[in-house]
Amino acid sequence: MQPPDPDDIPRERVVFDASVLLGDRRRRLFAAADLNYYTGYWSSWIISELVRKRTEWIAERAARDRCDRREMRRRLLESRGRVNALVDELSHILKSVDYGQVPPANVDWLQDRDDRPVIQTALAAQADTLVTDNSTDFPCGQRRNGILFLGSEAFLNSLYSTFPDAEVAIHQYLHEARPTPNS
């Protein structure tokens, strides 16, 4: 069975938080988007969060390893190449929206101000679902502002349930296509 034809069915509109874009399931999620199982979105805020988190990880690991300045610089340069490749690839898979261009919405339920642009991205994309592994601020299974919050595993399980051929198609895609950056 072939992946859905983009013109045959209305596709779910999905926004990904940076926690998912850097997570263990990212390759399967990217493949599913590239195979037209849904339309994925992100924003400049989510891109900057992805870059910031990746950089923090490198710096924290270097500090734990007690790296000198030269080794820290080497690791950061190496990471920059991976991050640039990841952002480039995702730019071909995810559509960008302006999180600042949304109608007024009550997002006061969010405690972390850094999460407001994430929900605003979902609102700007008119998303059905926000996929995030941050269940503290975005309680999985709940719907807020008309947007369903799902963790990456729950989202994939839902996708496999909706499209029974998806798991096999994604597996084939990943083994036939070139590996994604940061794999």
User: Within a domain: residue 30?
Assistant: yes
Query: Rounded CA gap, 31 and 160, in Å?
Result: 13
164 in any annotated domain: yes
- The pLDDT-based confidence of 1 (bands split at 50, 70, 90) is very low
The reply to whether 21 falls in a domain is yes
Per-residue pLDDT, 176: 84
Residue 82 lies in a domain: no
Structural domain includes residue 160: yes
- In angstroms, the CA 92 to CA 149 distance is 24
Q: How far apart are CA 176 and CA 35, in angstroms?
A: 13
Q: Is 63 within the bounds of a domain?
A: no
Tokens of 56: 């923090």
- Position 18 in a domain: yes
Domain count, the chain: 1
> What confidence tens digit (pLDDT) does each residue in 77-110 have?
888 888 999 899 899 999 999 999 887 788 878 8
Asked, for residue 76, whether it belongs to a domain, the answer is: no
Q: What is the pLDDT of residues 28-65, one digit of tens each?
A: 999 999 999 999 999 999 999 999 998 898 889 988 99
Question: Do residues 64 and 72 lie in contact, with contact meaning Cβ atoms separated by under 8 Å?
Answer: no
Domain that holds residue 33: 13-42+95-176
Confidence of residue 2 (pLDDT cuts 50, 70, 90): low
How confident is residue 111, by pLDDT bands cut at 50, 70 and 90?
A: confident
Reduce the secondary structure of the chain to three states and give it as a string.
CCCCCCCCCCCCEEEECHHHHCCCCHHHHHHHHHCCCCEEEEEHHHHHHHHHHHHHHHHHHHHHCCCCHHHHHHHHHHHHHHHHHHHHHHHHHCEEECCCCCCCCCCCCCCCHHHHHHHHHHHHCCCCEEECCCCCCCCCCCEECCEEEECHHHHHHHHHHHCCCHHHHHHHHHHHCCCCCCC
Range with lowest mean pLDDT among 9-13, 62-66, 161-165: 9-13
Structure confidence by residue, pLDDT tens digits, 114-153: 889 999 999 999 999 999 998 888 989 999 999 999 999 9
